[in-house]
């Protein structure tokens, strides 16, 4: 490596996140100036980082060239973000009629769209069938019948995939695990064969095109993917031998993790299981390599290598596309010292209304003082949001050390400083609420050359009243 004059902090990312004139810079744009120009809270999206993340995910194609990436739009479904994703050349996964509407509005072709959903309405299914999307992932035998009824009514054939539950655990949060028999998702293996036979019995109504398992979000290890893929492969092979029907795809779901602990200065303050999960580094390419190597061995043994080669493998990355492409800028609005505990508090204008995972899953977002990014972060501050709720804090209120008790920031951090919450692209904007009458913030998109575009304007007070009758 070329000689570096000063070591850059762990959170920095070359040509994207760094320090200029002692302040945080995003693609060379001064974060504090952005905060002044657009107001805070403010979500700042890096279009180049989204493209970088997609390119990294596409490296999985080295191990299986027929790869279809469907961005899990529930992670962040702003039109401006969907547009960048679409222009990067990948497809999209939707979880409701509303997300289907957004995907179509963002310009995705119907065959680029696949739909999941645990509790789809007849209307949503009709919208998907009418549009002629790539596939509807069926969550139960009941839903197969419902799709057949809707397809018959519309006089259109639906492409369907059976979503399996595989009894596969991961080292992530209980609520982020979706392939356990105790989870609410998917069709049990004991029911899957009968369900596939039933789907094949009505070829004029449904075309059975694939199998799907989503093991869960922020999955740190490849093993659950290997297990899930093997389970689907065995079903596929059995179906082929029994009926001659060739499934077109296997969908391995999302869950490729993001390293939220690039900066490890406070990692040791986080409980160890959580630390492993938040600091995961599994790549899509590594996951695919291990999965394909294992399954290829079985396929060759079974004389079915061509079946595997002909298969389209679908992945549904959400977090891995968008999480580290977004920075939430928030201003310190109040400060206090508590003589009884000796603690210093900083109160920001962004709470769990914008970072719901912070309280729901104790999710760690690294904090940087954007106004003093060049100063050493050596002082401890209790950080909290603006909401009228004692739970709106940036630490683990229950003392379980899922989050650090205090954040390390520069000594003289104070009112007026702009704090940057890093890696806040996934499950933030798409989960935000207007609790406490707080209008939704603006979101801006920054390009490589530092040009800036507002992709969602800040809500006004009038917007808070939308659809209300007096
Ligand atoms: C949420 C979800 C995803 C995306 O998960 P990430 O962890 O964000 O990659 C993919 N597939 C399904 C079915 C999901 O529910």
Walk me through the domains of the chain, giving residue ranges and CATH numbers.
17-46+325-465 (2.40.37.10), 116-317 (3.20.20.10)
Q: What's the gap in Å between 389 CA and the centre of ligand 1?
A: 29
The Cα–Cα gap between 344 and 137 comes to 50
Q: Which residues lie below 8 Å from residue 129, measured CB to CB, with a gap of 6+?
A: 136, 147, 150, 151, 154, 156, 158
Q: Please indicate whether residue 316, judged by its CB atom, sits closer than 6 Å to ligand 1.
A: yes
- SS3 state of residue 460: coil
Q: Does the Cβ of 27 fall within 6 Å of ligand 1?
A: no
Nearest-atom index, ligand 1, CA of 253 = 11
Give residue 6's pLDDT.
54
Q: Whose CA is nearest to atom 8 of ligand 1?
A: 318
Residue 20 CA to residue 28 CA, distance in Å, equals 8
Q: Which atom of ligand 1 is nearest to the CA of 74?
A: 1
Q: Which residues contact 248 (CB under 8 A, 6 or more apart)?
A: 209, 210, 311, 312
**Residue 317 in contact with ligand 1 by CB distance below 6 A:** yes
Q: Which atom of ligand 1 is nearest to the CA of 163?
A: 13
pLDDT by position in tens, the chain (length 470): 444 445 689 999 999 999 999 999 999 999 999 999 999 999 999 999 999 999 999 999 999 999 999 999 999 999 999 999 999 999 999 999 999 999 999 999 999 999 999 999 999 999 999 999 999 999 999 999 999 999 999 999 999 999 999 888 777 877 777 778 888 999 998 899 999 999 999 999 999 999 999 999 999 999 999 999 999 999 999 999 999 999 999 999 999 999 999 999 999 999 999 999 999 999 999 999 999 999 999 999 999 999 999 999 999 999 999 999 999 999 999 999 999 999 999 999 999 999 999 999 999 999 999 999 999 999 999 999 999 999 999 999 998 999 999 999 999 999 999 999 999 999 999 999 999 999 999 999 999 999 999 999 999 999 999 999 98
Whole-number pLDDT of residue 168: 80
Alpha helices in 312-418 (DSSP H): 319-322, 356-360
355 CB contacts (<8 Å, ≥6 apart)? 328, 363, 365, 385, 421, 424, 428
Ligand 1 contacts CB of residue 263 (under 6 A): no
Q: Are 180 and 167 in contact (CB under 8 A)?
A: yes
Question: Which runs of E-coded beta strand occur in 139-256?
Answer: 158-163, 206-212, 249-251
Name the residue of 91, 254, 280, 325 to mutate for ligand 1: max ligand atoms within 8 A of Cβ. 254
Q: Mutation test of ligand 1: which of 50, 68, 71, 74 has the most ligand atoms closer than 8 Å to its C-beta?
A: 74
Ligand 1 pocket, residue 255 CB under 6 Å? yes
Nearest CA to ligand 1 atom 3: 254
The catalytic site residues sit at 388
Taking each helix axis as running N to C, give the angle between helix 47-58 and helix 79-87, from 0 to 180 degrees, rounded to the nearest 10.
50
- Dist. CA 178 → ligand 1 center (Å): 9
**Ligand 1: distance of its center to the CA of 118 in Å?**
13
pLDDT at 299: 95
- pLDDT for 3 equals 40
**Is the minimum distance from the CB of 257 to ligand 1 under 6 angstroms?**
no
- Quote the ligand 1 centre to 316 CA distance (angstroms): 6
Q: Angle between the 141-154 and 122-131 helix axes, to the nearest 10 degrees?
A: 60
Cβ of residue 94 lying under 6 Å from some atom of ligand 1: no
- pLDDT value at position 2? 40
Q: Is the distance from the beta carbon of residue 75 to the nearest atom of ligand 1 less than 6 Å?
A: yes
Residue 319: CB within 6 Å of ligand 1?
A: yes
- Does ligand 1 have an atom closer than 6 angstroms to the CB of 318? yes
pLDDT value of residue 38: 98
Q: If you measure from the C-alpha of residue 128 to the centroid of ligand 1, how many angstroms do you get, rounded to a whole number?
A: 19
Contact 369, 409 (CB under 8 A): yes
What per-residue confidence (pLDDT) applies to 166? Answer: 84
Of 251, 323, 258, 283, whose CA–CA distance to 93 is shortest? 251
pLDDT of residue 4: 41
């Amino acid at each position: 490596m070329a000689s570096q004059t000063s070591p850059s902090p762990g959170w920095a990312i070359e040509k994207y996140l760094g320090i200029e004139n002692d302040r945080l810079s995003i693609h060379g744009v001064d974060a504090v100036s952005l905060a002044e120009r657009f107001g805070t809270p403010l979500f700042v999206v890096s279009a180049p980082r989204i493209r970088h993340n997609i390119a990294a995910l596409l490296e999985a194609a080295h191990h299986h060239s027929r790869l279809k990436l469907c961005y899990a739009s529930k992670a962040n479904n702003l039109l401006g973000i969907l547009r960048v994703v679409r222009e990067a050349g990948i497809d999209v996964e939707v979880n409701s009629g509303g997300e289907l509407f957004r995907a179509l509005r963002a310009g995705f072709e119907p065959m680029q769209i696949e739909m999941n959903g645990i509790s789809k309405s007849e209307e949503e299914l009709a919208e998907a069938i009418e549009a002629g999307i790539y596939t509807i992932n069926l969550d139960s035998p009941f839903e197969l019948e419902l799709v057949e009824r809707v397809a018959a009514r519309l006089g259109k054939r639906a492409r369907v995939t059976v979503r399996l539950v595989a009894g596969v655990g991961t080292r992530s949060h209980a609520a982020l695990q979706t392939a356990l028999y105790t989870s609410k998702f998917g069709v049990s293996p004991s029911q899957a064969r009968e369900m596939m036979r039933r789907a094949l019995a009505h070829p004029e109504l449904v075309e059975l095109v694939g199998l799907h398992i989503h093991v869960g979000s922020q999955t740190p290890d490849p093993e659950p993917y290997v297990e899930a893929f093997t389970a689907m492969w065995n079903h596929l092979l059995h179906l082929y031998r029994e009926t001659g029907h060739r499934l077109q795809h296997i969908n391995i779901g999302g869950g490729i993790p993001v390293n939220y602990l690039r900066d490890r200065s406070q990692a040791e303050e986080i409980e160890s299981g959580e630390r492993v999960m938040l600091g995961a580094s599994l790549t899509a390419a590594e996951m695919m390599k291990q999965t394909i190597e294992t399954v290829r061995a079985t396929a060759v043994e079974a004389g079915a290598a061509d079946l595997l080669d002909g298969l389209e493998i679908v992945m549904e990355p959400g977090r891995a596309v968008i999480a580290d492409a977004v920075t939430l800028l928030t201003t310190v609005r109040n400060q206090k010292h508590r003589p009884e505990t000796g603690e210093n508090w900083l109160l920001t204008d962004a709470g769990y209304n914008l970072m719901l995972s912070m309280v729901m899953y104790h999710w760690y977002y690294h904090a940087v003082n954007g106004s003093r990014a060049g100063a050493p972060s050596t002082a401890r501050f209790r950080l909290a949001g603006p909401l009228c709720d004692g739970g709106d804090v940036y630490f683990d209120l229950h003392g379980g050390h899922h989050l650090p008790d205090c954040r390390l920031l520069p000594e003289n951090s104070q009112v007026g400083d702009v704090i940057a919450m890093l890696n806040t692209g996934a499950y933030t904007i798409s989960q935000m609420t207007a609790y406490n009458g707080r209008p939704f913030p603006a979101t801006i998109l920054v390009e490589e050359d530092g040009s800036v575009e507002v992709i969602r304007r800040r809500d006004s007070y009038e917007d808070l009243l939308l659809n209300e009758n007096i």
